[in-house]
Structure 1
Amino acid sequence: MARAEAEMRAAIVAEALSWERTPYHPRAKLKGVGVDCAMFPAAVFNAVGLVPVISPDYSPQWMLHRDEEQFLSWVTPYAREIDRGEVGPGDFAIWKFGRCYSHGAIVIDLPEVIHAVIIGGGVIRANIDRDEELRSRLVRFFTLFGDR
């Protein structure tokens, strides 16, 4: 891994960790005030300069009523899918909740991730191999590094 990539990955993780304990709030993305699992990675990747401001319009329960892969459509213009064995710090994981892939997290160092959750009350760390809510669901991994 090139030095610049390693530094950017470290910046992503540092920014993500700076959001820890931000309360959960649907469609919000204000550090320390409120954020959801879609806006959290959008805000983090924007803060480090990897993506533009992303502010989609969506219902907090869209994944329960639609098959459309709305969240994936926000991810794929900026990231490429990778296998679990390729995942590094600062990469992105997305789980299938409801009818489509609709819950995202930023990788700290697999299996550790950080994500915004209702049940946890906001932005928390999790272990994707131990946390039943995550390990029992289909997951896909993406990176913003390398060719798309």
Structure 2
Amino acid sequence: MSDLELQQREAVIAEARRWLKTPYEHRQHLLGVGVDCAWLLIEVYHSVGLLPWIDPGAYAQDWHLHRSKELYLSWLEEYGHQVESPQPGDVAIWQFGRTYSHGAVVIDEHRVIHSFLAIGVEVADMREERLASRPVRYYTLDSFGGSDGGRWR
């Protein structure tokens, strides 16, 4: 891993930590006020220059219970690719309902930062029942380590 990529990954985790204790609010993205898991990822990766500004559009809070289209995965696959062993700063995404619909920033092999319904942004252990009992995939952004570092700011 290059020094640049290491710095980018550390910046992702530092930015995600700034959001800790922000309440969960569906389709919101205001630090300290409210954010859901999708917007948390958008805000974190955009703030450190690894993603362009993305507007996912309107989505129902329970879309994953009634639809089979992998909306979340399609966004992840547009900007990254699946990996078997995540590194700090990668994305973990779990299947809730019919689709992969809950994302988090990987801190280390057991911990993530995510926004969870009725809890808000927290550090969670992936070995906890609410996460460990579900299928999970890991993605890394293609922009990690790129010489254009902050092209999306």
What's the TM-score once normalised by structure 2's chain length?
Answer: 0.90
CA distance in 1, matches of 2:18, 2:89: 13
**Divergent runs of 4+, >4 A:** none
Compute the displacement of 1:146 (Å): 6.6
Q: Secondary structure at the match of 1:77?
A: helix
Q: Would the alpha carbon gap of residues 139 and 146 (structure 1) be closer, same or farther in structure 2, given more than 3 Å must change? A: farther
CA distance in 2, matches of 1:108, 1:31: 19
CA distance in 2, matches of 1:70, 1:60: 13
Q: Secondary structure at the match of 2:92?
A: strand
Tell me if the contact between 2:29 and 2:35 (Cα under 8 Å) persists in the aligned partners.
yes
CA distance in 1, matches of 2:27, 2:123: 20
Gaps in structure 2 of 5+ consecutive residues: 147-153
Q: Would the alpha carbon gap of residues 113 and 91 (structure 1) be closer, same or farther in structure 2, given more than 3 Å must change? A: same
Q: Would the alpha carbon gap of residues 4 and 146 (structure 1) be closer, same or farther in structure 2, given more than 3 Å must change? A: closer
Q: Secondary structure at the match of 1:104?
A: strand
Letter in 2 for 1:39: W
Deviations 1:89-148 (A, max 9, x none): 10000000000000000001121100000132x10011102x10100000000001379x
Q: Is 1:30–2:30 an aligned residue pair?
A: yes
Query: 1:133-148 to 2 correspondence within 5 Å?
Result: 133-144=130-141, 145=144
Deviations 1:4-41 (A, max 9, x none): 00000000000000000001000011111110011111
CA distance in 2, matches of 1:23, 1:119: 8
Q: Secondary structure at the match of 2:79?
A: coil
Gaps in structure 1 of 5+ consecutive residues: none
Counterpart in the other structure of 1:95: 94
CA distance in 2, matches of 1:119, 1:23: 8
**Percent identity of the aligned residues?**
49
Larger RCO (CA within 8 A; separation ≥ 6): 2
Letter in 1 for 2:31: K
Q: Is 1:132–2:133 an aligned residue pair?
A: no
Letter in 2 for 1:70: L
Query: 1:1-148 to 2 correspondence within 5 Å?
Result: 1-57=1-57, 58-83=59-84, 86-120=85-119, 122-129=120-127, 131-144=128-141, 145=144
CA distance in 2, matches of 1:9, 1:103: 20
What's the TM-score once normalised by structure 1's chain length?
Answer: 0.93
Tell me if the contact between 2:5 and 2:145 (Cα under 8 Å) persists in the aligned partners.
no
